[in-house]
């Protein structure tokens, strides 16, 4: 039997030792939530598939027509997790079959496969044993390497269960509650993050810096990513620190100018998806306007329009906008095509889009930034943030595809092969900063604009 968790401090310390910054809590059902019935995680995909790093695959289409909210033909998505159960001294026991399954026809999402193949799975999750443990609490958190770490607390074995605090609900996934490793129990991570962002905004201009892995503190940075790196550093977030959410369980995205890059998945179909990048550029690239000998593939590409730069169109296959239904049999994908020949120049499958969008966290905070030339350091920049932020809670790939179909998210690549033969692959999906509030209303289950300091 594993050693008991006596209090909240011990629970936090256990997960903090593996680099976890935010804990997600599920009070398990007395008669359900076991290896037979699986663990219920909510009524749908909104938020849950974005909450933990996972590899998403599309399963067979839903065939049910009798369930109240079923949609025959819509694919079931399955998120395969790298889940490991956390032992008393920080040791882990991997659960190789763990996954979150979207049962759209019910509708509900459930955690499955968390015992199969695991050498030391929690006995309290076994259907025939669960009653003897009394109240059970599932605790999950993401380590910097993308491993989802779990622990089951029980009334029988863990004294902390008797006095477990009433934690705030996670807005993106209301069946879960949330606990920041660093913040006081009972205070929502959103409130902690908003207080930090408000203080950063109130402090005015900040020199451009970056917090590198293993560094004792931020160091000066010059480059186009300065605003994002500076905000992360001010929040104590290490640049490129892995798959865990940026701060307090939120993805933090700073932006300047009119265009915001949302994600950069490379195509997995069409000519570009089935050939090398250099072969693609050899066929579709064009000489740079400035005549420096380099090749470019650029241009704004929106569904329903022909790009004036490339002459290519965009479309969503397998989605009926009038009925708002998806058809798995048609092969759901976003395609760039040649209007004259019908050739598919590039395409993104449902799985490719889902996996890229899954890297965007269930909760997101978009923070506008202003840049100026640094008065004290020639050639460097300063940034200030605010005066408001935009917050989104709960999303899924089908929201993304609808936004692409309606043209509020578009493809804006910046692919290059330079004169020295260096290649830059930059398949950007973007949206407009000026219309971000409306766009977030499409991409997230709930969104809001918050004035800092109010």
Residue 324 located in a structural domain: no
Strands 423-424, 414-417: pairing is antiparallel
Q: Which ranges constitute the DSSP H helices of 226-303?
A: 226-234, 270-274, 277-284
Res 82: pLDDT: 95
By residue range, what is the domain housing residue 150?
8-180
How many whole angstroms separate alpha carbon 60 and alpha carbon 131? 35
Residue 283 located in a structural domain: no
Q: Is the separation of the CB atoms in 390 and 447 below 8 Å? A: yes
Query: In this structure, what are the phi and psi dihedrals at residue 86, rounded to the nearest 5 degrees?
Result: -95, 125
Residue 304 located in a structural domain: no
Instruction: List the 429-432 sheet strands across, edge first.
Output: 259-263, 429-432, 410-411
How many whole angstroms separate alpha carbon 262 and alpha carbon 399? 14
In the structure encoding, which two tokens stand for residue 93, read together? 């026991």
Which CATH number fits the domain that encloses residue 170? 2.40.330
Residue 416 located in a structural domain: no
Res 28: pLDDT: 97
- CA-wise closest residue to 87 among 22, 24, 35, 152: 152
Sign of CA dihedral 266, 267, 268, 274: negative
- Find the angle CA(301)-CA(302)-CA(307) to the nearest 5 degrees: 45
Res 67: pLDDT: 47
Res 242: pLDDT: 59
Secondary structure class of 370 (helix, strand, coil)? strand
Residue 44 located in a structural domain: yes
pTM of the model: 0.89
Strands 148-154, 83-86: pairing is parallel
How many whole angstroms separate alpha carbon 50 and alpha carbon 53? 7
399-427 per-residue burial string, b: 16 or more CB within 10 A, e: under 16: bbbbbbbeebbbbbbebbbeeeeeeebeb
Helix 436-443 vs helix 397-405: crossing angle, to nearest 10 = 130
Type and span of the H or E element at 103: strand 99-103
The number of domains in the chain is: 1
Say if residue 22 is preceded by a cis peptide, omega within 30 of 0. no
Taking the chain (454 residues) in consecutive chunks of 10 residues, what is each chunk's mean pLDDT?
85 94 95 94 83 84 48 75 92 96 84 95 96 97 92 96 94 93 88 95 97 91 93 90 70 91 95 97 92 92 97 96 89 96 97 89 92 91 97 93 97 96 96 94 94 86
How many whole angstroms separate alpha carbon 179 and alpha carbon 175? 14
Kindly give, in sequence order, each residue whose CB lies less than 8 Å from that of residue 327, ignoring residues fewer than 6 positions away. Answer: 73, 74, 318, 319, 320
How many whole angstroms separate alpha carbon 325 and alpha carbon 71? 8
Strands of 264-404 (E only): list them.
286-287, 295-298, 313-317, 319-320, 325-326, 333-337, 344-349, 363-373, 381-385, 388-393
DSSP 3: P
Residue 136 located in a structural domain: yes
Res 311: pLDDT: 97
Instruction: List the 99-103 sheet strands across, edge first.
Output: 39-40, 108-112, 99-103, 75-81, 54-61
Residue 163 located in a structural domain: yes
> What end-to-end distance do the CA atoms of the chain give, in Å?
50
Residue 409 located in a structural domain: no
Res 328: pLDDT: 83
């Amino acid at each position: 039997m594993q050693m008991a968790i006596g209090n909240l401090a011990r629970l936090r310390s256990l997960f903090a030792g593996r680099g976890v910054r935010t804990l997600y809590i599920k009070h398990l059902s007395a008669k359900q939530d076991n290896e037979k019935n699986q663990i219920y995680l909510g009524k749908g995909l909104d938020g849950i598939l974005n909450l933990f790093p996972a590899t998403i695959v599309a399963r067979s289409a839903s065939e049910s027509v009798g369930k109240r909210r079923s949609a025959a033909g819509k694919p079931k998505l399955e998120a395969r997790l790298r889940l490991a159960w956390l032992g008393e001294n920080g040791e882990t026991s991997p659960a190789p079959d763990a996954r979150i399954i979207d049962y759209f026809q019910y509708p509900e999402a459930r955690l499955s496969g968390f015992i199969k193949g695991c050498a030391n799975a929690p006995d309290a999750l076994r259907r025939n044993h669960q009653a003897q443990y009394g109240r059970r609490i599932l605790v999950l958190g993401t380590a910097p390497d993308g491993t989802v770490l779990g622990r089951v607390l029980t009334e029988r074995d863990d004294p902390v269960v008797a006095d477990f605090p009433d934690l705030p609900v996670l807005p993106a996934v209301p069946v879960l509650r949330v606990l920041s490793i660093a913040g006081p129990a009972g205070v929502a991570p959103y409130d902690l993050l908003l207080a930090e962002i408000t203080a950063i905004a109130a402090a005015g201009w900040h020199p451009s810096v970056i917090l590198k892995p293993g560094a004792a503190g931020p160091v000066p940075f010059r480059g186009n990513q300065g605003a994002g790196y500076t905000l992360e550093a001010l929040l104590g977030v290490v640049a490129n620190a892995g798959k865990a959410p940026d701060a307090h369980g939120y993805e933090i995205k700073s932006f300047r100018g009119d265009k915001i890059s949302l994600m950069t998945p490379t195509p997995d179909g069409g000519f570009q998806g089935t050939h090398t990048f250099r072969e693609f550029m050899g066929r579709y690239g064009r000489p740079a306007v400035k005549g420096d000998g380099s090749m470019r593939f650029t241009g704004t590409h929106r569904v329903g329009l022909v790009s004036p730069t490339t002459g290519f169109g965009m479309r969503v296959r397998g989605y009926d906008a009038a009925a708002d239904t998806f058809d798995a049999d048609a092969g759901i994908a976003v395609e760039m095509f040649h209007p004259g020949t019908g050739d598919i120049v590039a395409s993104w499958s449902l799985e490719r889009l889902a996996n890229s969008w899954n890297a965007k966290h269930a909760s997101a905070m978009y923070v506008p930034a202003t840049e100026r030339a640094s008065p004290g350091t020639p050639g460097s920049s300063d940034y200030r943030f605010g005066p408001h932020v935009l917050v989104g809670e709960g999303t899924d790939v089908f929201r993304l595809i609808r936004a692409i179909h309606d043209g509020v998210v578009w493809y804006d690549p910046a692919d290059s092969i330079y004169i020295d033969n260096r290649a830059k692959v930059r398949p950007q999906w973007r949206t407009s900063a000026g219309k971000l509030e409306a766009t977030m209303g499409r991409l997230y289950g709930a969104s809001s604009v918050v004035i800092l300091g109010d």
